Amino acid sequence: METHIYMIRHCESPKLGGSEERRGLTRKGKMDASKLTTLLRNEDIEVFISSPYTRALLSIEELATESGKEILLCENFKECIFSKGDKVVPNEQVYPLVKKMFSNHEYAILGGETYDQCLDRAIFGLERVLRNFEGKRIAISTHGFVMTIMIRNFIKHIGFDFLMETTKPDVFLLKFDGMTVTEFTRIWREV
């Protein structure tokens, strides 16, 4: 029985300090959330799951509401914890860190997660979703790093360069037979 996972990287969010968990969407991010709805409204998505971070939730809220579905929150799909506390890490600091994490899966700065720790929690959540919703069409709204390493768990040639080429938002369709990916397609496009 084929399961469709629509892996969604959240829409654009301001990085102006404050809390990672509560960052919302920029004006462009809000417009792109509507574009996500337009793109995915005919996909017959049956289950909506989101990272508990506000920006991920807001990215699929309109689509879920239009579909008459609740959004299930899943801690497993939150972004990698890059530093101690809940502070926003600027891109000029986070991307060199992420690049190092791709080459050394045990590396983390004090108080942060390693690549392997983040992957373990994310794959645990994804496998649970695949078991509990087998044969369904499922949207998972998440974040760039955690999305990339989940996909990389199945598609080995994906790595740091893939992450750097993704957009906010971005959408990838993974078709699963059990726990095996049978098809992988980028479906995000401007609508």
Domains and CATH numbers, the chain: 6-186 (3.40.50.1240)
DSSP-assigned letters across all residues of 72-111: EE-GGGSPP--SSSSBPPPHHHHHHHHHHHHH-TT---TT
**DSSP secondary-structure letter at 174?**
E
Q: Is the pTM value of this prediction over 0.85?
A: yes
pLDDT for position 16: 75
pLDDT for position 81: 92
pLDDT for position 110: 85
Token digits for 49? 């799951």
- Which residues in the chain come in under a pLDDT of 70? 17-18, 86, 190-191
The CA distance from 137 to 129, in Å, is: 11
pLDDT for position 19: 78
Token digits for 38? 């337009």
Cis peptide before 169 (omega within 30 of 0): yes
> What distance, in Å, lies between the first and last C-alpha atoms of the chain?
31
**CA distances (Å), origin 106, targets 80, 84, 116, 119, 133:** 13, 16, 6, 11, 32
Within 13 Å, how many C-alpha atoms sit on residue 161's CB side?
Answer: 3
pLDDT for position 132: 98
pLDDT for position 139: 99
Contacts of 80 (CB under 8 A, 6+ apart): 101, 112, 113, 115, 118, 143, 145, 146
Residue 144: enclosing H or E segment and its boundaries? helix 144-154
The CA distance from 124 to 171, in Å, is: 21
